[in-house]
Structure 1
Amino acid sequence: MTCMAVQRPTFFRGIALICPMLFVSEELKPPMIVTQVFKHLIKPLLPQWPLTPIKDLDGLDFRVQEQGRRLNKVNPMSMQGLKPRLATGCELGFTFPEWMALNLTNLRTPFLIMHGNKDFITDAGLSQRLFDEASATDKALL
Structure 2
Amino acid sequence: MLKKLLLLLCFSLILISCKKDCYTAPEKVVFEFVNSSGENLIQNGNLTTYSIMRKTGQDSYTSVELTQTDDYKVILKNVGSFNGTQEYRFTAAPNIFFFSIKSSNVTTDCDGYQIDEINFEDVVTTKESGYYRIVLD
Higher-Rg member (1/2)? 2
Bucket of the pairwise TM-score, normalised by the shorter protein: under 0.3
What is the TM-score with the length of structure 2 in the denominator?
A: 0.24
Which one has more relative contact order, counting CA pairs under 8 Å at least 6 apart? 1
What is the TM-score with the length of structure 1 in the denominator?
A: 0.23
The structure richer in strand per residue is: 2
The structure richer in helix per residue is: 1
